[in-house]
Amino acid sequence: MARPRLICLLLALLTLLLYLPVWQHGYIVYDDNLYVTENRMVQRGLSWAGAKWAFTTLHASNWHPVTWLSHMLDWELFGANAGAHHLVNVLFHATNTVLLFLLLCRMTVSLWASALVAALFAWHPLHVESVAWIAERKDVLCAFFGMLALHGYVQYSRSGDRRAYFCSLFCFALGLMAKPMLVTLPFVLLLLDYWPLKRARSFLRLAVEKWPFFLLTVVSCVITIIAQREEAMVDLERQPLSARVANAVVAYASYLAKTVWPSDLAIIYPLDRQIQPGHVALSTITLSVISLFA
């Protein structure tokens, strides 16, 4: 037990050290204004009126009450001190790194492989945006509850303890209320059933077992579509389905390339309206080969 504890300590300390410069960073005029600097409800701190607003508003084209409550608590504790807001993100990220390492160790019993994956999660340049940007609190919060949900599910799969199942479901709900990006978690659970949990059941039974997770996913997707319909979504006439599929395939391959060689990183990657068929074909072949190999 001493070695995993030491690795946890090193992962957390090195992550905190790496991101320590954010203490001197300020706000940026890109979403930070929507979430903090120009948001009067957040700047009132924690209150019943603020909690009611958090659970009923679609401000910033999202329904994420847990994220709003987190920002309100930050303002209650630190006021306009941007460095403190940044450091809360860093603390969540360091915690998520440790949770990921422990989760992988628990599932695979591969100490050093788990440490390597956790280190890449913690320190890879692609992940900087989620940590060093105050408005991305929703990202680190979502990851935090997602990790807890996975830990609960692993406990349930090993022991059959229904309390662990419902704990996992509850954390999943909190994660969705931090950022709806977590909607794919039920599918991740099915993949984990296959490997490394190796649960000897039929696929249909495993899918039915997770119906509450899928129900929350559907509800979250509907709410997100309603929230983003006016400002963050484009209709099929302006962006046809074929172009969306082509962009998705190329984007997957591009992110894989940036994982290996992180360069030309940005907050937004503008949509390429002239995607070359050759790029789509090469990206499709690459993804197919990797998937088949996996």
Label residue 264 left, alpha or beta by phi (over 0 means left) and psi (-120 to 50 means alpha): left
Would you state the structure tokens that stand for residue 198, as one six-digit string? 């190796």
User: Rounded to two decimals, what is the model's pTM?
Assistant: 0.94
Tracing tokens 């306009």 back to the chain, one arrives at 80
pLDDT over 90, % of the chain: 88
Residues 6+ apart with CB under 8 A from 72: 41, 42, 44, 45, 46, 47, 50, 54
Residue type, 206: L
Question: Would you say residue 234 has pLDDT above 80?
Answer: no
Identify how many contiguous H helices and E strands the chain contains and give both numbers. Answer: 14, 0
Tracing tokens 């005029």 back to the chain, one arrives at 29
Instruction: Encode pLDDT of 33-81 as tens digits.
Output: 999 999 999 999 999 999 999 999 999 999 999 999 999 999 999 999 9
The burial class, CB within 10 Å (0-12 / 13-18 / 19+), for 108 is middle
pLDDT band, residue 123 (cuts 50/70/90): very high
C-alpha 218: how far from chain center: 18
Cα–Cα distance list, 11 to 5, 21, 98, 234, 246 (Å):
10, 17, 7, 41, 38
CA geometry: angle 78, 79, 83, nearest 5 deg: 60
Distance CA 267, CA 290 (A): 27
Look at residue 193 in the predicted model and tell me its pLDDT: 96
Query: How is the chain split into domains, by residue range?
Result: 2-228, 241-293
Instruction: Encode pLDDT of 67-120 as tens digits.
Output: 999 999 999 999 999 999 999 999 999 999 999 999 999 999 999 999 999 999
Alpha carbons within 13 A on the beta-carbon side of 95: 15
Yes or no: say if 19 and 97 are a contact pair by the CB < 8 Å rule: no
Question: Would you say residue 235 has pLDDT above 90?
Answer: no
Question: Would you say residue 125 has pLDDT above 90?
Answer: yes
Look at residue 236 in the predicted model and tell me its pLDDT: 66
Question: Would you say residue 223 has pLDDT above 90?
Answer: yes
- Cis amide leading into 196 (omega within 30): yes
- SS3 call for 291: helix
Question: Would you say residue 269 has pLDDT above 90?
Answer: no
For 238, other C-beta atoms within 10 Å of its C-beta total 7
Q: What is the mean pLDDT of residues 154-172?
A: 97
Instruction: Encode pLDDT of 205-214 as tens digits.
Output: 999 999 999 9
pLDDT band, residue 245 (cuts 50/70/90): very high
Averaged pLDDT of the chain: 95
The burial class, CB within 10 Å (0-12 / 13-18 / 19+), for 292 is exposed
Look at residue 159 in the predicted model and tell me its pLDDT: 94
